[in-house]
């Protein structure tokens, strides 16, 4: 007990328990929604054709490219500034971010739609996948998620885990019910699936818009904050868009082969393997602070141990998935998409190579070379385009799956080369 009569150990223990409780609410809400999505997968597989899956997979790949552009990492700016300013300035920053996510993101969505239309008309006019209504539903579902994600981030920053969980689960339930209604009962196919996402995003947007109506209508839009936002966000946006060439470009390239049905089987395999991402993201985020701490203390042996744990645990999960994937896909697709197994198994290896690259990139950031990563991503993106062209040209859909694995190897090699090069130049000074 200290001089003021407080039990500091008891207080610390109480804080620890509270943080643990918050963690389980954050994780539990996210896992609950993921489990719901997995549970309805057999029903979707019974009501969606390979062509439907091809359409959904094809346009979903464009969301990987366009989401960083449209949302512009504005939420990341809000998170970065949150604890750096007082409450009054925080409200100005929140107001500026909210207004930017509504108006600026809408403007960028229109530009994105025009660019995608030009691509389809001038460069892919023989496409077997129609432009409307799929492009509209896909692109305009993106900007309306902006203020919703910012609100979730604010709940986390304020340690309001219960509100975070309630909002996440509510939107998740609305999405699942919308999907069941429009795909299973109405038999809307790919159109119904995309409408379900759009409508659930609209409801989430309207709720947050109403809850934050005061700050949206009467809050300050600060030009200096907006300028700082743009300076901070544009490198992140560019780097995020380059990620399309390691995860998304494969489907765009494959669509041009004209075999839409096989693209559907490929998309199903990739989608189911992507559930490994839930485990992978949890492992990466858990040990991210340890990587930074180990490097700052120059404890390289411990650093190597943590990297080994990250790569090793994800590798073990992938091995288990490789063994069980035929049964998993059989169950989750009601036995309709067993031809997706080989694509899913190959794609699963990308989580191993991605974990290796992720660990090396975190070390680069810890060393202060964050801008170097943008160069790595741009060069890696260029090499990935060439890699996919060769592998798909030679091996078709199987080559695309292997390309998703090898692109992260390319990123890792480039990051390692640049890392040693930068470090060598510093030592030579």
**pLDDT tens digits along 96-129:** 999 999 999 999 999 999 999 999 999 888 888 9
The answer, yes or no, to whether residue 13 has pLDDT greater than 60, is: no
Cis before residue 161, ω within 30 degrees of 0? no
DSSP string across 291-341: HHHHHHTT-HHHHHHHHHHHHHHHHHHHHHHHHHHHHHHHHHTTTS-GGGH
Residue 17, pLDDT above cutoff 60: no
pLDDT (tens digit per residue) in 371-425:
787 888 889 989 999 999 999 999 999 999 999 999 999 999 999 998 888 765 6
- This prediction has a pTM of 0.85
CB atoms within 10 A of CB 308: 11
Q: What is the mean pLDDT of residues 279-299?
A: 74
Tell me which of 159-163, 268-272, 345-349, 420-424 is least confident: 420-424
What pLDDT is attached to residue 424?
A: 59
313 touches 304 (CB < 8 A): no
| Percent of the chain whose predicted confidence (pLDDT) is above 70 | 91
| Average pLDDT across the chain, whole number | 88
Whether 15 shows a pLDDT value over 50: the answer reads no
Tell me: pLDDT of 11 over 50.
no
- The fraction of the chain above a pLDDT of 90, given in percent, is 62
The per-residue pLDDT for 329 is 95
Indicate the SS3 state at residue 402. Answer: helix
**Tens of pLDDT along 170-195?**
999 999 999 999 999 999 999 999 99
- What is the average pLDDT across 336-361? 93
Euclidean distance between the first and final Cα of the chain, in Å?
A: 52
Predicted local confidence at residue 5, as pLDDT? 52
- Which tokens is 24 given? 């389980």
Please indicate whether residue 33 or residue 366 has the higher confidence score (pLDDT).
33
* Lowest mean pLDDT, pick from 50-59, 74-83, 342-351, 397-406: 74-83
Tell me the H-state helices in 83-160.
87-99, 105-118, 134-139, 146-157
């Amino acid at each position: 007990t200290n001089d003021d009569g407080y039990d500091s150990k008891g207080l610390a223990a109480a804080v620890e328990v509270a943080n643990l409780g918050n963690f389980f609410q954050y994780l539990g809400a996210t896992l609950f929604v993921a489990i719901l999505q997995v549970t309805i997968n057999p029903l979707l597989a019974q009501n969606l054709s390979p062509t439907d899956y091809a359409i959904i997979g094809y346009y979903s790949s464009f969301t990987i490219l366009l989401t960083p552009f449209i949302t512009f990492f504005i939420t990341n700016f809000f998170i970065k500034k949150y604890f750096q300013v007082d409450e009054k300035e925080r409200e100005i920053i929140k107001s500026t971010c909210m207004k930017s996510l509504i108006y600026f993101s809408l403007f960028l969505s229109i530009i994105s739609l025009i660019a995608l239309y030009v691509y389809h008309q001038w460069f892919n006019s023989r496409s077997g996948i129609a432009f409307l209504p799929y492009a509209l539903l896909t692109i305009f579902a993106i900007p309306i998620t902006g203020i919703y994600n910012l609100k979730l981030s604010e709940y986390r920053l304020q340690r309001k885990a219960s509100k975070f969980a309630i909002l996440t689960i509510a939107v998740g339930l609305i999405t699942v019910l919308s999907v069941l209604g429009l795909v299973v009962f109405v038999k809307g196919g790919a159109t119904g699936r995309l409408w379900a996402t759009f409508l659930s995003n609209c409801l989430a947007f309207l709720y947050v818009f109403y809850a934050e109506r005061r700050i949206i209508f009467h809050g300050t839009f600060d030009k200096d904050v907006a300028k700082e936002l743009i300076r901070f966000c544009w490198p992140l946006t560019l780097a995020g868009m380059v990620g399309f060439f390691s995860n998304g470009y494969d489907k765009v390239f494959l669509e041009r082969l004209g075999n839409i049905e096989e693209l559907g089987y490929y998309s199903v395999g990739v989608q189911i393997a992507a559930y490994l991402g839930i485990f992978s993201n949890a492992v990466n985020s858990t040990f991210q602070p340890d990587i930074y701490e180990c490097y700052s203390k120059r404890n390289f042996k411990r650093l190597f141990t943590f990297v080994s744990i990250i790569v090793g645990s994800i590798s073990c999960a992938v091995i288990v998935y490789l063994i069980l994937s035929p049964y998993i896909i059989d169950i989750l697709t009601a036995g309709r998409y067993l031809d997706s197994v080989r694509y899913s198994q190959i794609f699963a290896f990308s989580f191993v190579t991605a974990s290796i690259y992720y660990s090396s990139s975190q070390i680069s950031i810890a060393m202060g070379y964050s801008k170097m990563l943008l160069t790595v991503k741009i060069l890696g993106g260029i090499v990935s385009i060439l890699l996919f062209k060769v592998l798909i040209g030679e091996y078709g859909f199987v080559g695309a799956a292997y390309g998703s694995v090898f692109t992260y190897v390319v990123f890792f090699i480039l990051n390692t080369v640049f890392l040693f090069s930068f470090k060598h130049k510093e030592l030579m000074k």
